[in-house]
């Protein structure tokens, strides 16, 4: 056994690195969902995954790196910038109606309780740039692409914030198809050159 495999040994078993890494991710997602980010320690994640806590640092750098990967796995936005350019506004509008105004994933709901955590805030800020604004700007191209992409991000975040503050009842009660149609027009305007 080489020295790097020794760290992946638990109770005399050599573990597959990718399987171990995935088990840590799965354990973190489960604990973050059940308890929220701030209440979960690296030690509790390691215990849940059945690994040494050092593996969290080895594979993810720290609990924050693990959080970033769990959030990335949970995110749906990257798939929106795949497909035909002319259907992009509708895909974004559907995302807003069905994902942002919907119940969201269990992980998203759990992380709302930890929004004040500096790690969570910085991971969300990085994801905003790297997973929404950057890819969308690259996808749409043209003059002021980053400004137009930021307008769409503001729409996504704004609707989500209004929902979290309890002010989206009228939107959540509206006909979903009519709401998608209206939002499609708004997104089209945001994306115009």
Residue 45 placed within a domain: yes
> In this structure, are 150 and 123 located in the same domain?
yes
> In this structure, are 120 and 177 located in the same domain?
yes
> In this structure, are 113 and 139 located in the same domain?
yes
> In this structure, are 16 and 103 located in the same domain?
no
Confidence check: pLDDT of 4 > 60? no
- What percentage of the chain carries pLDDT values higher than 70? 89
Total number of domains constituting the chain: 2
Residue 54 placed within a domain: yes
The pLDDT, as a whole number, for residue 103 is 66
> In this structure, are 31 and 108 located in the same domain?
no
Residue 70 placed within a domain: no
Its pTM stands at: 0.72
**pLDDT, averaged across the chain:** 85
> In this structure, are 44 and 89 located in the same domain?
no
* d(C-alpha 188, C-alpha 193), whole Å: 10
Last residue of a domain, one of 33, 63, 93: 63
> In this structure, are 104 and 163 located in the same domain?
yes
Residue 106 placed within a domain: yes
Q: Which domain holds residue 88?
A: 75-191
Quickly state the pLDDT bin for 111 (edges 50, 70, 90): confident
Residue 178 placed within a domain: yes
Residue 69 placed within a domain: no
> In this structure, are 163 and 85 located in the same domain?
yes
The pair of structure tokens assigned to 9 is 């040994």
The pLDDT, as a whole number, for residue 42 is 95
Q: Which residues contact 182 (CB under 8 A, 6 or more apart)?
A: 93
pLDDT tens digit sequence for 158-175: 888 888 788 888 888 889
Longest dimension (CA), the chain: 62
pLDDT tens digit sequence for 44-94: 999 999 999 999 999 999 999 999 999 888 776 667 788 898 999 999 999
Quickly state the pLDDT bin for 8 (edges 50, 70, 90): very low
Residue 144 placed within a domain: yes
Whichever domain contains 24, its CATH number is: 1.10.10.60
| Other beta carbons within 10 Å of 184 | 20
The pLDDT, as a whole number, for residue 76 is 63
The pLDDT, as a whole number, for residue 127 is 87
- What percentage of the chain carries pLDDT values higher than 90? 48
The pLDDT, as a whole number, for residue 27 is 96
Whichever domain contains 163, its CATH number is: 1.10.357
> In this structure, are 113 and 174 located in the same domain?
yes
Q: Span 13-41, mean pLDDT?
A: 88
Q: Span 154-159, mean pLDDT?
A: 88
Confidence check: pLDDT of 179 > 70? yes
Confidence check: pLDDT of 14 > 70? no
Residue 68 placed within a domain: no
27, 48 contact by CB (below 8 A): yes
**Nearest CA-CA partner of 70 in 17, 101, 106, 113:** 106
């Amino acid at each position: 056994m080489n020295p790097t495999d020794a760290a992946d040994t638990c109770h005399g078993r050599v573990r597959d690195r990718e399987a171990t890494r995935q088990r840590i991710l799965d354990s973190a997602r489960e604990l973050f969902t059940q308890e929220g980010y701030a209440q979960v320690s690296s030690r509790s994640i390691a215990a849940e995954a059945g690994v040494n806590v050092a593996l969290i640092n080895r594979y993810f750098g720290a609990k924050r790196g693990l959080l970033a990967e769990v959030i990335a796995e949970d995110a749906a936005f990257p798939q929106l910038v795949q497909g035909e350019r002319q259907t992009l506004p509708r895909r974004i509008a559907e995302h807003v109606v069905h994902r942002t105004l919907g119940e969201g994933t269990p992980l998203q709901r759990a992380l709302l309780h930890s929004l004040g955590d500096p790690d969570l805030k910085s991971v969300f800020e990085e994801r905003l740039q790297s997973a929404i604004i950057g890819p969308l700007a690259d996808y749409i191209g043209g003059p002021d692409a980053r400004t137009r992409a930021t307008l769409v991000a503001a729409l996504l975040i704004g609707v989500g914030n209004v929902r979290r503050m309890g002010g989206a009842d009228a939107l959540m009660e509206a006909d979903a198809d009519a709401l998608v149609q209206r939002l499609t027009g708004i997104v089209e305007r945001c994306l115009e050159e």
